[in-house]
Structure 1
Amino acid sequence: MRDLIHGARVNRRQCMGGLAMSITAGAMASGSAATALAGEGGAEVDAERTEEVFNHHLGAFAEGLDAIMADYTEESVLMTPMDTLRGLDAIRGFFKAFLDGATPEFWAAFKVNVQVVEGEIAYLVWSSLPSVPLATDTLFVRDGKIAVQTFTPMVPT
């Protein structure tokens, strides 16, 4: 796990600033994301679909790599402080490394702190003490798949 997130040590201001930028970039990349967040044209439908994908994604970690990857397409993008990964092969490699590095102690300590869905955007704040005291994920869901995801962990120094 530490190898996967090595180099991702950021302070709270960097973390929140990056998150705000990634949400803004995702919304700007899609006119309908901004529309959904503004409450026009089916925001409830978008939020329901986003919630379904979000809940599946969280549950998929207990099912394995193939279940996780079912939420992505070849056009999906995963952004981390270390890299921007594009496409199924790159994202699969990331999650394989994540799952390989996650110990039983990591999963026993895993806790969801905040889970919010607004339109096509899902936001998660989680922790797994002591290895990951805080991490955030933001998902931009389009057509029932994760189009863009950001992942930012804060690890002890």
Structure 2
Amino acid sequence: MKFQLLGAIAALSITGAAQAADLTPTEIVNRHVSSGGNVDAIMADYADDAVVLQQGRAFQGKDAIRGLFENMFKRPAGPAPSAPPAGGANGGGAPKMNVTRVWEEGNVGFMTWEMGPMKATEEFIVRDGKIQVQTIFMSGPPAGGPAPQ
């Protein structure tokens, strides 16, 4: 009985790992995007030794990548507003990221998105259900920044 239980636990562990490995790059990218800025959910998609390349900088390993996303998704201190501010795009807040396309070629997932005047393409090399390498190519002024003259 004891060995049957151990065998069942081992089988479930193998099945869980196989299911994670079976996710396609598109599914990984969609899960990554649907996190809603939840850094813990985002980090679950990365391999321990992953690398993110953005604007000439390399962030290697989960600690460095976590720092990148924590900085990116900083929220102001204090309680959340009860209602969005009036006026402007998105009720006067920062422009919202609009994903325009997600696709894959082999083990590479791709995503294009826009946020105000900024446009970006991201590439995700996925192995064994985890992001190994992510590159982020952006153009245009930062969202909310001054308009080009």
TM-score range, shorter chain: 0.5 to 0.7
Task: Provide closer, same or farther for how the CA distance between residues 113 and 85 of structure 1 changes in structure 2, counting only shifts above 3 A.
Answer: same
Question: Given the alignment, which residue of 132, 135, 142 partners 1:147?
Answer: 132
Q: Could you say which residue in structure 2 is the equivalent of 1:135?
A: 120
Unmatched 5+ stretches in structure 2: 1-20, 77-89, 142-147
Query: Under a length normalisation based on structure 2, what TM-score does the superposition of the two structures give?
Result: 0.64
Runs of at least 5 residues in structure 1 that lack an aligned partner in the other structure: 1-45
Task: Please give the secondary structure, in 1, of the residue aligned with 2:59.
Answer: strand
Residue from 96, 102, 110 that aligns with 1:109: 96
Q: Which residue of 1 aligns with 2:48?
A: 74
Q: Which amino acid aligns with 1:52?
A: E
Task: Point out the more displaced range, 84-93 or 73-82.
Answer: 73-82
Aligned letter for 1:153? M
User: Number of matched residues?
Assistant: 107
In 1, distance between residues paired with 2:125 and 2:135? 9
TM-superposed CA distance for 1:155, in Å, is 2.9
Alpha-carbon displacement from aligned partner over 1:26-68 (angstroms, at most 9, x marks no partner): xxxxxxxxxxxxxxxxxxxx895212211110111x1511000
* Alignment deviations for residues 104-142 of structure 1 (CA, whole Å, 9 cap, x no partner): 734x53211222112211111101114x2x111100000
Aligned partner of residue 121 in structure 2, secondary structure? strand
Hey, what's the Cα distance between the residues in 1 that align with 2:63 and 2:102? Answer: 27
CA RMSD for the aligned pairs?
2.3
Map of 1:57 onto structure 2: 32
User: Percent of aligned pairs with the same residue?
Assistant: 33
Q: Which structure: larger Rg? A: 2
CA 1:95–1:63: 2 relative to 1, 3 Å: closer
- What pairs up with 1:77-92 in 2 under 5 angstroms? 77-92=51-66
Structure with more of its chain in helix, by fraction = 1
Q: 1:6-37 CA distances to partner (integer Å, 9 max, x unpaired)? A: xxxxxxxxxxxxxxxxxxxxxxxxxxxxxxxx
The structure 1 segments of at least 4 consecutive aligned residues displaced by more than 6 Å after TM superposition are none
